């Protein structure tokens, strides 16, 4: 064979061998990355759905308690000490439900007539947003979910509100259950399985209600930015989505599963959104380490192949 032709063929075969080895290693790395991505998306979605299902159960329980109170109001009004009886009943209900911080009944003027906590009775909440929201659009079939707010006791909470219809169906006051953030934080914490994870509960208007781990700088933050995962979740119309990219809440590239909680049976005026996420740097940490080691191995093999062939051809020529 012509020496020049043999020389070129040997380098072509060496190049092909290096290409095949590199391609196979790249295929394995890509396959591993896709497997990690699929596995993590499935796991995050499962955790977010688990939280959403438990949250739905707690919302339904609270709503049943509010409906129970609505049924008893007419009887309490006929009693001489009806408000005291109502307060005792509210205390029993609030104590029985760990997810409820407090319960109270408000008249059409915003005055608290009965409550599970005695010091609340007589206070007026007419200027509170949760009161005015129901007053503007009174509907006895709706479960109103107030925007998170800071109470006079210093608790950051949300209210579940049911309208008390008047004799002719007009606005006649409301029954309110304030949610206990501690209990819902425990619920969010149940979704955490890695130290880099975070979980959030966001009101449908975009305000972040709770975060785990507890990050006070995030609580109350507006999430309804045009390109945020939260906005994309509501626009999608789907109950469950998994997003990848820069997270507005986490502040870095992340994978976040989101579930919209708004069961038809509750007729909630605003949804709640559960979010469970991990940073991509943590998800692909070990894969990146493998990428570096595989890349180093590839260059060693390529260098040895090139050096070996060059040395062999040099010796043969000599």
Q: Could you tell me if 232 and 249 are in contact, meaning their C-beta atoms sit under 8 angstroms apart?
A: no
Instruction: Please say if the pLDDT value at position 58 is more than 70.
Output: yes
Please give the average per-residue pLDDT across 65-93, as a whole number: 89
Cα–Cα distance measured from residue 166 to residue 52, given in angstroms and rounded to the nearest whole number: 34
Q: Could you tell me if 254 and 40 are in contact, meaning their C-beta atoms sit under 8 angstroms apart?
A: no
Q: What is the dihedral angle through the alpha carbons of 167, 170, 171, 175, rounded to the nearest 10 degrees?
A: 50
Cα–Cα distance measured from residue 89 to residue 86, given in angstroms and rounded to the nearest whole number: 5
Instruction: Please say if the pLDDT value at position 203 is more than 90.
Output: yes
Tens of pLDDT, residues 251-308: 778 899 999 999 999 999 999 999 999 988 888 888 888 889 988 988 888 888 888 8
Please give the average per-residue pLDDT across 218-229, as a whole number: 76
pTM of the model: 0.85
Cα–Cα distance measured from residue 66 to residue 164, given in angstroms and rounded to the nearest whole number: 10
* Token digits of residue 106: 């408000």
Cα–Cα distance measured from residue 279 to residue 274, given in angstroms and rounded to the nearest whole number: 17
- Structurally, at CATH architecture level, domain 33-56+193-285 sits in 2-Layer Sandwich (3.30)
Most confident segment among 2-11, 187-196, 247-256, 299-308: 187-196
CA atoms within 13 A on the CB side of 276: 26
In this prediction, what percent of the chain has a pLDDT beyond 70? 97
> Which carries the bigger pLDDT value, residue 311 or residue 209?
209
Ranges of beta strands (E only) in 213-295 are 240-246, 253-261, 272-279
Tens of pLDDT, residues 134-162: 998 899 999 999 999 887 777 788 999 99
Q: According to CATH, what is the number of the domain 62-181?
A: 3.30.450.20
Residue 200: the pLDDT is: 93
* Token digits of residue 240: 């469950």
Question: What's the mean per-residue pLDDT of the chain?
Answer: 88
């Amino acid at each position: 064979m012509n020496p020049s032709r043999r020389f070129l063929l040997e380098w072509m075969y060496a190049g092909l061998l290096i290409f095949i080895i590199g391609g196979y290693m790249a295929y394995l790395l890509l396959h591993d990355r896709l497997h990690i991505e699929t596995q993590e998306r499935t796991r995050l979605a499962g955790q977010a759905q688990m939280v959403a299902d438990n949250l739905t159960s707690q919302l339904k329980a609270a709503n049943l308690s509010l409906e129970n109170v609505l049924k008893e109001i007419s009887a309490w009004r006929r009693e001489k000490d009806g408000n005291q009886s109502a307060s005792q009943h509210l205390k029993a209900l609030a104590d029985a439900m760990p997810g409820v911080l407090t319960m109270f009944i408000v008249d059409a003027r915003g005055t608290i007539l009965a409550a599970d906590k005695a010091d609340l009775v007589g206070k007026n909440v007419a200027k509170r947003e949760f009161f005015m929201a129901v007053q503007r659009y009174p509907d006895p079939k709706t479960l109103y979910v107030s925007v998170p707010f800071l109470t006079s006791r210093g608790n950051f909470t949300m209210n579940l509100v049911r309208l008390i219809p008047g004799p002719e169906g007009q606005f006649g006051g409301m029954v309110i259950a304030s949610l206990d953030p501690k209990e819902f934080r425990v619920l969010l914490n149940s979704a955490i399985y890695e130290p880099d994870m975070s979980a959030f509960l966001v009101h449908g208007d975009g305000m972040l209600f709770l975060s785990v781990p507890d990050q006070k700088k995030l609580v109350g933050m507006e999430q309804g930015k045009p390109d945020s995962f939260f906005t994309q979740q509501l626009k999608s119309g789907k109950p469950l989505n998994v997003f990848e990219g820069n997270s507005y809440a986490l502040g870095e590239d992340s994978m976040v599963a989101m579930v919209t909680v708004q069961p038809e049976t509750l007729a909630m005026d605003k949804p709640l959104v559960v979010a469970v996420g991990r940073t991509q740097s943590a998800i692909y940490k070990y894969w990146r380490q493998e990428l570096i080691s595989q890349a180093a191995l590839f260059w060693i093999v390529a260098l040895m192949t090139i050096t070996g062939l060059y040395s062999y051809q040099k010796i043969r020529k000599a």
